[in-house]
Amino acid sequence: MANNTFKEIAEVLLKAKSVLVYPHINADGDAAGSAAALCHALRKMGKTSYVLIEDRLPDNLRFMDKGYFTFDPSVIERPDVSVCVDCGDPGRFPGRKKKFLSAETTVCVDHHQTTEKFCDYSMVDPAAAATGELVFALIKEMGAELDVETGEAIFTALTTDTGNFRYSNTTKNCFLIMAQLCDLGVDINKVSVEIYENERPQKLMINTRALSTLEIFGGGKGAIAFLTLEDMKETGAEPFETEGIIQNIRSLSGVEYAAFVKEKEPGVVRVSLRAKRRGNVAAIAQELGGGGHVKAAGCTLNMTAEEAVNLIKAKINEAIEAI
């Protein structure tokens, strides 16, 4: 897909009087941070701008909402420009798709691999660690005044999408941007506390419960844990609050294959699989009717959690023997 330049997109935004910004559903730090930063910059330049959402912003990202985020599509009746950030497919903002496309001009700023172009203007760069990286470049191109609020939102986008500058998508440019954000007066610790020290007790409880079932096998190379529907009910945890568990399991020393089994409904479980250095979990997932990548894959099985744990252990043991 041919990209437009930052200059071309900046010109579109500079000509507009009103701009609605669209992060994807289940907004993460990159989606929400990119949206907040862009909305703030547009307002600084005298535009009418809001971030239109269709589901609740996670508690730990609310600190960025200085009156930008709204559920109300009529907040701008006929916006000149729609900009979607961190999503390259209208299926990522299903409830807002019609409104998005109703704008005179549509723009996409994203770092995901996308299959088809669906906006009038696009800046899609899969080499960017976060969409926030692209939004930062765009804001600078627009000539908007950069301030600490811009910095906090861009920092949020970068730190969350790179796992605190630990994942392989982390680039030199991330660090060069971070140095600039320090100059804007961003209080790294304050923002990190907002993002990372805002965990619901229910999340800690469900994580603790899952990890208390941890079983290490295959000579220390395999590790598995599980959760039942009863665990979810008793702790009051939300489904998305189990997301970090597989990472905890993978982090164990010596573990090459990590698995996490979660009962979705009676007799149906979702299995998450991770490999560390040498393993290939895509092969295991495919064999069981699922899919994914070499290091991160998954499948859904029609059986109890206990049966799934036994099946997955057997499959991982086979894979370990083949290493």
Per rule CB under 8 A, count of chain residues that contact a second copy: 46
Which residue of 26, 198, 302, 310 would you call a contact of a second copy, by CB under 8 A?
A: 198
d(CA 61, CA 117): 29
d(CA 44, CA 148): 13
Which residue of 197, 233, 266, 322 would you call a contact of a second copy, by CB under 8 A?
A: 197
d(CA 258, CA 237): 22
CB of 190 to a second copy, least distance (A): 8
* Residue range at the interface with a second copy (CB under 8 A); choices 37-45, 73-81, 105-113, 183-191: 183-191
220 — alpha (psi -120 to 50), left (phi > 0) or beta?
A: left
CB 108 within 8 A of CB 88: yes
The residue (of 97 and 293) whose beta carbon lies closer to a second copy is 293
d(CA 256, CA 249): 10
Specify the long-range contacts of residues 213-216, CB closer than 8 Å, at least 24 apart. Answer: 214/249, 215/309, 215/313, 216/252, 216/255
By CB under 8 A, the residues from 24 to 83 that bind a second copy are 59-60
CB 320 within 8 A of CB 218: yes
The residue (of 82 and 228) whose beta carbon lies closer to a second copy is 228
Which residue of 175, 289, 291, 310 would you call a contact of a second copy, by CB under 8 A?
A: 175
Provide the 8-state DSSP code for 58: P
* Residue range at the interface with a second copy (CB under 8 A); choices 86-94, 110-118, 141-149, 207-215: 207-215
Which residue of 126, 201, 244, 291 would you call a contact of a second copy, by CB under 8 A?
A: 201
By CB under 8 A, the residues from 237 to 296 that bind a second copy are 248, 250-253, 276-277
Please give the residue ranges that form the binding site for a second copy (CB under 8 A). 59-60, 159, 164-168, 170-172, 175-176, 178-179, 182-183, 187-189, 192-193, 196-201, 204-205, 207-209, 211-212, 214, 216, 220, 223, 248, 250-253, 276-277
